[in-house]
Structure 1
Amino acid sequence: MEHGAKIDRRYDLDWLRVIVFGLLIFYHIGAFYATGGYHVHSVYASETIEPLMKLVNPWRLTLLFFISGIAIRFAIDKQPLIKFTVKRSIILLIPIIFCIHTIIAPQSWLELLENGEITSGFWAFYPEYLIGSIDKYSVVIPTWNHLWYVVYLFVYTLLLIPIARPLASFMNGYGKKMSSRCLDNRLGIFVVMLIPVIPFIIFHYILNPIYPSTHALVDDWANHQLYFSIFIFGFLISKDKSFWQAINKALIPALIMVFIISTIASIVWYLESQNYRSYAFDITEHYSEKTRKTAYAWFSIVALLAIFQRWLNKPSKALSYMTEAVFPWYILHQTLIVMIGYWLTRQGLSIYSESLALILLTFLGCYLINEYFIRRWKWIRPLFGLKLYKLKY
């Protein structure tokens, strides 16, 4: 990014958004092979892949909400607020309603089937899914499952809209001066790395023990504190040149901190795997894990922002295509993983053949459904968050 130029579009953040969503597909494939709570599991599920997932989990969704806040600032600055509100509501609300009642249903069916809670086929189960149930099964139906991110983004956007213009005006005036004083100096690197993470650490200690993660919107206050805060933060600094200059300079320190914290985490995981326990270890790990995880997430985000800002802030036809395709792929991928994985793991394949087939078929399924069904049909496009007419690249 040329720091003296007018910022019209952040191609680096477009690239980062596409790649993080792509990483999300691999993450959910990993969840199929992990032992944690997922809709279905492979017969080869174990703890083997979980340390790798733990390295990605602290920052992946936080980064997406951060980028979403930035994107909304750019969109709001280009159009009247009422027009933006209507367009954004259509883009987000229609896919939420449609997909909860269609795309997500096979996930619940197969999860209940694997749990032994039902024995019926999908079409026999589907009317019951539409009617809904809160306490009959181990999962609520109908549900939004992985689309909770879209639901939260829709609610956060509605909460932001009434204060969007005042916040933008503040950042164009006094906020810009404050940022320049704090960041346009030798200490700017330390400010951009350390100051943002402090409130997140504090609230992590306060809220997380009280409000476990649910993704159910109404009782998910610890997640709201994190995701809504980073969403607003992204909105505020989206066009702040001092912030982005400091991010650019912070690449090496951020990478060093990511390496140090990852090493510490790896040592802790190894000790736990060897069943090393002591009272001092338990107490120290209980409190240090919260700080370490939160700091690691922000340092990882800083490093990724710096890397993409330096080397990928440029347009391309491939980026234009993937920027449009990423939302339909996000909607489709988990249902494909659950359906394909549920079938594959019952075919007696080796773990290598099964996992490779699952990866290839998931990506191929996302591509074919989007390319030859979703993006080519005018009346289907809005159901998956796309504009009515196909873009030209």
Structure 2
Amino acid sequence: MSLTVPSARPSRAAAAPPGRRYDLDAVRVGAFGLLILYHVGMFYVTWDWHVKSPYASAAAEPLMRLVNPWRLAILFFVSGVAVRFATDKASSRGRFAASRLLRLGLPILVGMLVTVAPQTYFELRQDGAIPPDFGAFYARYLSGDLPLLTPTWNHLWYLVYLLVYVLLLLPVLPLLRRLAAREALGRLLGGPWRLLLLVPLPFILFELTLSERFPTTHALVDDWGNHAHRLTIFLLGVLAAKDERFWGSVDRALPAAAAIAILLVPARLFAQPLYDALTSHDLGDGAWTVGYVLYAWSVIVALLGFARRAVRGPSAALAYANGAVFCWYVLHQTIIVAVGYALAPMRLGAWPEAILVILATVIGCLAGYELLRRVPGVRIAFGIKEGRRRSSSQAAPQGSGRTAPTPR
């Protein structure tokens, strides 16, 4: 998917030639990179995850809470922006749907059958639930004869949800285009304070009405609270994509958004132990929810605004990372789980173990991408675009509300 700009950007924002939104390329790469590090962190916190380090503790959990509210929200927003630009360039909605079914559907299918299966294997091995014979395990994995639901998509749920949202979007795309052409979103949110204070309102409502009733499952069919958040911010990205009024408000809101986010950091770091006590009262529950959502949206606006100012054009590193990051996303969690499982019995110490897990994940993702990109017909199954290599002007981004406190 490629992002194009309809007109010149304000002079204080990052300048990008027509046909490219390098700032959003950088946001996308940064968000996926953070997601990879976050999943390394899941090996070390007390929250439920596939495998656990012997050094797992609550020590890193405050830092994980800093990124929990917005780390996936920003990906779905950028996804909405990218889908809008891509659909405007597509010859028809039908052909675009077919291209997304291939581009997203094939990595999901191959992921469930190949990439994700070892995660379940190592999880059950660490629990002592299965013998070491991988062949016997895989037959049971395909048949669903395991203590866990299989075959599964695990971390690839993001691709599943994105594909479903794209298919749901296409029938109403003409209406959304007409709204966007009138800059309806920018007019509604014109001015930094309206942008910062109005957008959180639906997400606060979702938190108070849906999130507790429908806890996050990532299982698609019963995940209504999560869908409300993700689909809404995805549609926000679709409407905002070419709305210069909206992006002008982002530019002007940057200082206030950064200030709000910084002021709310102590609450995200230290107030969690008080949350259960606060939520015994409706007032405390509402105040926590407002702060949670306002913090998340302020961080997103600040990151978008900072990227517009800081990323001023193409670079070889950004082009390479933008072309590789989808593949890295597909591969990374399996590498973390496998390496973590192998290192846990060695009792190397928390820091040596963590450094080795991070290095192995980075090297594994880089090596996996370099290998898979050279295999025609296979690379597309791992999120690598088929065809000639993309130059720095061709690599393109793709890809709110609340994230579950202990996501898988």
Residue 386 of structure 1 aligns to a residue whose secondary structure is coil
Residue 102 of structure 1 aligns to a residue whose secondary structure is helix
Cα distance in 1 for partners of 2:173, 2:154 equals: 29
Residues 28-77 of structure 1: per-residue CA shift (max 9 Å, x gap) = 00000011010000000000001100000100111100000000001011
Give 4+ residue runs of structure 1 displaced > 3 Å after superposition. Answer: 3-7, 178-184, 276-282, 284-287
Correspondences of 1:79-90 after superposition (within 5 Å): 79-80=90-91, 81-90=93-102
Correspondences of 1:88-237 after superposition (within 5 Å): 88-133=100-145, 136-137=146-147, 139-173=148-182, 176=183, 178-179=184-185, 181-183=187-189, 188-237=191-240
**Greater share of helix residues, 1 or 2?**
1
Partner amino acid, structure 2, of 1:115: D
Q: Compared with structure 1, are the counterparts of its residues 267 and 51 closer, same or farther at alpha carbon in structure 2 (3 Å cutoff)?
A: closer
> What's the counterpart of residue 380 of structure 1?
378
> What's the counterpart of residue 346 of structure 1?
345
Residues 108-129 of structure 1: per-residue CA shift (max 9 Å, x gap) = 0111112222123222201110
Residue 109 of structure 2 aligns to a residue whose secondary structure is helix
> What's the counterpart of residue 28 of structure 2?
17
Partner amino acid, structure 1, of 2:52: H
RMSD: 1.9
Q: Compared with structure 1, are the counterparts of its residues 14 and 124 closer, same or farther at alpha carbon in structure 2 (3 Å cutoff)?
A: same
> 1:376–1:390: 8 Å Cα contact kept in structure 2?
no
Alignment counterpart, residue 245 of structure 1, candidates 237, 244, 248 = 248
Partner amino acid, structure 2, of 1:96: I
> What's the counterpart of residue 300 of structure 1?
299
Q: Compared with structure 1, are the counterparts of its residues 317 and 132 closer, same or farther at alpha carbon in structure 2 (3 Å cutoff)?
A: same
> 1:12–1:313: 8 Å Cα contact kept in structure 2?
yes
285-294 vs 322-331, which deviates more? 285-294
Q: Compared with structure 1, are the counterparts of its residues 6 and 163 closer, same or farther at alpha carbon in structure 2 (3 Å cutoff)?
A: farther
Q: Compared with structure 1, are the counterparts of its residues 180 and 290 closer, same or farther at alpha carbon in structure 2 (3 Å cutoff)?
A: closer
**Fraction of identical pairs, as percent:** 42
Per-residue deviation, 1:279 = 5.9
Cα distance in 2 for partners of 1:104, 1:278 equals: 35
Per-residue deviation, 1:179 = 4.5
Cα distance in 2 for partners of 1:159, 1:278 equals: 37
Q: Compared with structure 1, are the counterparts of its residues 168 and 115 closer, same or farther at alpha carbon in structure 2 (3 Å cutoff)?
A: same
Per-residue deviation, 1:132 = 1.6
76-85 vs 348-357, which deviates more? 76-85
> What's the counterpart of residue 354 of structure 2?
355
Residues 354-392 of structure 1: per-residue CA shift (max 9 Å, x gap) = 100110111001101111x21111121111122222414
Cα distance in 2 for partners of 1:241, 1:350 equals: 51
Q: Unmatched 5+ residue regions in structure 1?
A: none
Q: Unmatched 5+ residue regions in structure 2?
A: 1-7, 392-408
> What's the counterpart of residue 2 of structure 1?
9
> 2:330–2:383: 8 Å Cα contact kept in structure 1?
no
> 2:155–2:333: 8 Å Cα contact kept in structure 1?
yes
How many residues in Structure 1 have an aligned counterpart in Structure 2? 378
Residues 201-233 of structure 1: per-residue CA shift (max 9 Å, x gap) = 012100011100000000000000000010011
2:67 is the counterpart of 1:56: yes
Q: Compared with structure 1, are the counterparts of its residues 377 and 257 closer, same or farther at alpha carbon in structure 2 (3 Å cutoff)?
A: same
Residue 343 of structure 1 aligns to a residue whose secondary structure is helix
Higher relative contact order at CA 8 Å, sep ≥6: structure 1 or structure 2?
A: 2
Q: Compared with structure 1, are the counterparts of its residues 346 and 314 closer, same or farther at alpha carbon in structure 2 (3 Å cutoff)?
A: same
Cα distance in 2 for partners of 1:27, 1:268 equals: 21
> 2:43–2:49: 8 Å Cα contact kept in structure 1?
yes
Per-residue deviation, 1:267 = 3.9
Cα distance in 2 for partners of 1:286, 1:10 equals: 39
Cα distance in 1 for partners of 2:160, 2:361 equals: 24
Cα distance in 1 for partners of 2:336, 2:157 equals: 17
Cα distance in 2 for partners of 1:28, 1:180 equals: 35
> What's the counterpart of residue 394 of structure 2?
none
Cα distance in 2 for partners of 1:231, 1:307 equals: 20
